[in-house]
Structure 1
């Protein structure tokens, strides 16, 4: 099928627009993190004395008030709106690339990274509805913007049909599941890193007092990392299983200790260890966070070093 150059160009425009919008949202998230009010517990929120007028006034009656939003909080809400706009551009970029090429739009590193970063941003947006983590947007979007910038420059590949080895329905199934699950794992990786900072500050408040004081509580970061890993880990497992099935169909074996397969398996073991540690009382907290951080670093290592530096059976899915 010939490539539709016009739609491919529109896809690139949407991709670049998403990067620009995410970058602006990052600045707004960082502003709120730096200058917003420190988080407070619900029971510590201001209450005012309220009652009737004149002789009907009843002292002692208290009602919760809705404090006026500061500039930092308004910027934070603007950052969320920009993030949603960026997601729309991001989705449009992938859809237009897929329509332009007539295939699943994740056949090379540029497209794979686009799907991975989209999964990370969507995961963060969804989790914001359940956790008070809006201020963490900058920490999530910084690696997203970096990955997308590298994807749009060093790793960019023009719209074209995929190589014969990738012309399989497994491209739709295996690669999409692995990419989405890896993107989802970016969020718990960031949460665990910040948990370690928060825990270090709790032990020695003079270390990161100003920075850590504006982060969500250690308990919130711990639950965020655990629950998001619980969501992503089954998908990651299924993706590895699908990869083994595709490998048997393409190469005549389920497993061959290819570098990418090996690091993916080691990552799976580390995440399984994290979930086990998190469920074990003696290994909760910093110990579990360190394990999750190692898993996150392994996925980053697998994404860049294994794909771009080493040579293996997955090399055809590299830059071009």
Structure 2
């Protein structure tokens, strides 16, 4: 077994250890429901087991990181698989730090699944070690990407604690207008998570089925002299094409549920060879997420927020609010260094300018401004509790768009990260 195979096995071991840790955290906090004899002893025992399992999983992922680094010849943060894997690892490191401070096992029920989802999302992308493109062949890759991801990892823990606060404090039995509105927005947040799960599930399902369809698309570009140029691009679909690429012809179409052609063509304003495929992926993600949401609703027979709420009973909401704030307060200066200061230094070295309004740069700035506003509103305006938690939740959604949406949807100088 070579070093890269060992690294892949360590990654897989970490994934399963996180899954077991998640189950153990659930057992720990649900003990009061079925361990009547000595709930405190039950909590203590399973809390130790759960934390030990998640810690071993984190160590296993650290082993994956360094063995892939040695085996691949460069730090494994240069593409979406490597970066998202590193982000998941740092989320677990951040969770471990926060857990050691507050000793709150319920945090594991919400923070660990975030790492699991991001690892599963990473596995959607090609996992082979790829050579560095020239722009990434710099020691600043180690400095900029790792610090930015570490800051985002603490934002993820703040997000988890924020969701927990909302689930703990919202009155899911109330029919008042404000309470109903809060219930709906929590449900939308949980649905958003399920859409990501649906995306991962649909990709792996059709990959296991060996699904594939191919198109040839005519791409028209306009140069600086306003002259049009056209070229033919091959577009490969691994999900059944509900949406065909704009101005394309079918090369190979694998029938699915009686469908032998796409339902419609991507609109012209969706530019780029993969625009139609990406729109198709978004549609499948929404369909899969809604289907999963519907199945869970049928099982629990109530909104997801209302079903989770009883688990949060007995937890001090002020502790959750404090955890969310502290995690973001730790992550903010680290993110500032990595995503802005170090990024601008590297941009000047690579492209001879500190700032160029590239989409990734713009969204990194938006993320920084958002969390700056969060800290300002919390410290100067007294936005604590519900307001602060909603800001923490929305903030991490901004982070995820910066990481995923910008890399995979908006073309720019950082598009190589989506390979």
* TM superposition score category, shorter chain reference: 0.7 to 0.9
Q: CA RMSD in A?
A: 2.4
Deviation readout 1:220-258 (Å, 9 max, x if unpaired) = 011111111111100110111111111122122211221
The answer to whether the aligner puts 1:252 opposite 2:352 as a matched pair is yes
Question: Which residue pairs with 2:150 in the alignment?
Answer: 180
Residue-pair matches, total: 285
The answer to whether the aligner puts 1:69 opposite 2:69 as a matched pair is no
Describe how 1:147-226 pairs up with structure 2 within 5 A: 147-152=118-123, 154-201=124-171, 204=174, 208=306, 210-214=310-314, 216-226=315-325
2:56 corresponds to which of 73, 76, 85: 85
Question: Which residue pairs with 2:330 in the alignment?
Answer: 231
Preserved contact between residue 108 and residue 157 of structure 1 (Cα < 8 Å): no
Preserved contact between residue 367 and residue 398 of structure 2 (Cα < 8 Å): yes
Output the CA distance in 1 between the equivalents of 2:146 and 2:382: 36
Output the CA distance in 2 between the equivalents of 1:130 and 1:36: 23
Question: Which residue pairs with 1:25 in the alignment?
Answer: 21
Deviation readout 1:185-241 (Å, 9 max, x if unpaired) = 100011112212223139959984523315x31110111111111111001101111
Structure 2 unmatched ranges of 5 or more: 184-305
1:10 corresponds to which of 6, 10, 13: 6
Output the CA distance in 2 between the equivalents of 1:276 and 1:287: 13
Output the CA distance in 2 between the equivalents of 1:112 and 1:81: 25
Q: 1:67 to 1:19 in 2, by over 3 A?
A: closer
Output the CA distance in 2 between the equivalents of 1:300 and 1:291: 14
Output the CA distance in 1 between the equivalents of 2:334 and 2:310: 37
Question: Which residue pairs with 2:369 in the alignment?
Answer: 269
Output the CA distance in 2 between the equivalents of 1:171 and 1:100: 17
Preserved contact between residue 201 and residue 212 of structure 1 (Cα < 8 Å): no
Structure 1 unmatched ranges of 5 or more: 39-65
Preserved contact between residue 109 and residue 151 of structure 1 (Cα < 8 Å): yes
SS of the equivalent of 2:148 reads helix
Output the CA distance in 2 between the equivalents of 1:171 and 1:295: 25
2:111 corresponds to which of 129, 140, 144: 140
Distance apart, 1:280 and its partner CA: 2.7
More off after superposition, 171-180 vs 246-255: 246-255
Question: Which residue pairs with 1:103 in the alignment?
Answer: 74
Distance apart, 1:74 and its partner CA: 2.7
Distance apart, 1:68 and its partner CA: 6.0
Output the CA distance in 2 between the equivalents of 1:128 and 1:200: 24
Distance apart, 1:33 and its partner CA: 2.9
SS of the equivalent of 1:103 reads coil
Question: Which residue pairs with 1:121 in the alignment?
Answer: 92
Q: 1:146 to 1:68 in 2, by over 3 A?
A: closer
SS of the equivalent of 2:2 reads helix
Deviation readout 1:270-300 (Å, 9 max, x if unpaired) = 1111111111354222222222222111001
Output the CA distance in 1 between the equivalents of 2:133 and 2:403: 20
Q: TM-score, normalised by structure 1?
A: 0.82
Q: TM-score, normalised by structure 2?
A: 0.64
2:31 corresponds to which of 35, 40, 44: 35
Output the CA distance in 1 between the equivalents of 2:44 and 2:174: 29
Output the CA distance in 2 between the equivalents of 1:245 and 1:141: 33
Preserved contact between residue 273 and residue 291 of structure 1 (Cα < 8 Å): no
